[in-house]
Structure 1
Amino acid sequence: MKSAVRRTHGPEVLGGVGGFAGLFDASALRAYERPLLATSTDGVGTKVAIAQAIDKHDTIGLDLVGMVVDDIVVVGAKPLFMTDYIACGKVFPERIADIVAGIARGCAETGTALVGGETAEHPGLLGLNDYDVAGAATGVVEGSRILGADRVRPGDVVLALASSGLHSNGYSLVRHIVAGAGIQYGDRATDLASDGTTWGEALLEPTRLYTAPLLRLIAQTGDAVHALSHVTGGGIAANLARVLPQDTWVELDRSTWSPPPVFRVLADLGNLELTATEGTWNLGIGFLAVVAADKAEAAASALLQDGIATWQVGVVGDGPRPAGEFEQGAKGVDGGAVRLVGQYSDQGAK
């Protein structure tokens, strides 16, 4: 575990592993004219219950980094460092090492130093094999380069960035559907894979990490990227609405993509229409980027070269919006208005 953590350390990290506090040399921030610190904290949610059920813990850490660090890049910030917290009924060293090694892999992929953490036993509160994970990260962005709703203009293009699957949201619904269908996590998921993959393994597909590709995109395209939205709890429309100006609206065209099989199979098992899950699952879109119209094609091409399928899903409008129900902001943010329109494509997932 210590070896995995040390691999995330650059010369800015002082003191190594095991201290009461992690130390990070912030001297590099002197190069910023107005350095703004960005911070985020989150957990993985009930996805950990599936990891516990099949005793596979090496990907949960990647999910944690995705939930925490990928929120920082939304404002255009470069992550600096992260800490983690693991609460468990009993410490099993190999299990904790697997979890932390996954966090370290995610930190290395996103350029984040893992500078510290805490593992706590809570006997009598958590079961012997139960645990939960959480983390917090800090990043920095130049004050004049911060992304957000104030940069968005009518006519901007909304690009969808493909997810790797469920990511780390909506697992209470997933577990309810699986239990109701009488499926065991050790059963082969023949509807999802032909290689003997079990349901538990398929549902633990790690969250895709977007930080490094998005930072490269921002660096390559200058002022082309105006706003970013991380599609997590609340679904596609609500999360995009959070980063739009109040007087704007977007209709996201469902026909531009096909939700991957995991969403279709689960919806069928739960006797749900895909549209009924839009506020719970990402349905194949992990991030949304609002970009200048004349740079949209170049931005999509750059992300594709970085391994992320990207496509145009909508355009920012202003003035009177079309009749019908829209999502209007979310989580206390009075943002723009967003709704999904049309029917999902059946031509294969993006």
Structure 2
Amino acid sequence: MDRSSKNTIATHSGISGSSFAFTVSSPKLWSPSLANLYDMVVTVDRDTVYSYTGFRTISRGVVNGIERPLLNGDFLFQFGTLDQGFWPDGIYVLPNREAMVYDLQTLKNLGFNMLRKHIKVETALYYQACDEMGLMVVQDMPSLRPLQTETLSNCTVETILPNDAQQAEFQRQLKLLVTQQRPFPSIVTWVIYNEGWGQRLNYYPEFGLTDLVRQLDPTRLIDSTTGWYDYGAGDFSGNHHYANPQCGSPFYSIPSSPYDPSRIGIQGEFGGIGNNVSIDHLWNVQEAIVTINQTYELDTTLDAWNYRSHRLLGEILDQVKMYACSGGIWTQTTDVEGEVNGLLTYDRRVLRPNVSQWQSDIQALYNAGAARTNASTPVLSSF
């Protein structure tokens, strides 16, 4: 049923326990600008289940010689935040739905069309809110472990890698993530590994895991190794670079890899500039406070923070205009304990961005992406 008109647009009967397909004629497509959704009613005997869906395609193709992500067949520059989902009164547990929606609505109001849900899986209400608001979601697989090393008896240092049982459990839970979350239309990309955390570097498991995710869900793109240790798996070629972006460009910094033009160029993380507010808005725990000076850059005033943000957004704008940058992820939505680089403070009381400036800068990214598109270019591959 069309939510706006309340008209029934399609019906179908099938046999329980068996899959079936049917056609919906000329549906309104889902996008960040028009988050069209349709209500569904499934009746089996005396039981009735209510749900919803959205119609949209996520694919990749060459547009004016550059590999691009495509939404409903067209290139749309994707710009979002790293969204860790931490809360001072519940850590990983949000206080209520209204608080969750406030974060998402703040991003939408600033002009973001996407977010990266960083190494956390949220409740169904979260993805439902993204579906209804029109926020694309890049969904991380929670990392198996951070990068750690140990010193052996011969004084050599080696990276601690997952053993076979840990790797098997990681794969099992990756399958659960994809099968559980794939009904939500807002999810457009799966991320398997973040910055090498838990990534076995001795036999490149990301290739097999990418194939597994593709089999489970051929309708979305896959960022197999965001950050670094990228050996060519998946749909994206990106790096993480604080504070300055290096997006689809002919320059990069180790440990990231050079841009691979056979895949989509994206800035997986950048920004990260901080502003230390009063103790009233910080996570008032000494262990967190002493880590504040590890922030990539600290700006002493909000005016300085907005100036630096404007400069960095201008840098990625240049890379959209000049090179092959197709998307970016700003770090981050909110402060997280000792990290004071959020658009919002940890208590959500202070919004750092100059709203009109950020809206203008973000819109400029979308305009630059649109200026480089060509709707007549054929899609080379679709997922």
- Normalised by the length of structure 2, the TM-score is 0.23
Greater RCO (CA < 8 Å, at least 6 residues apart): 1
Q: Which has the larger radius of gyration?
A: 2
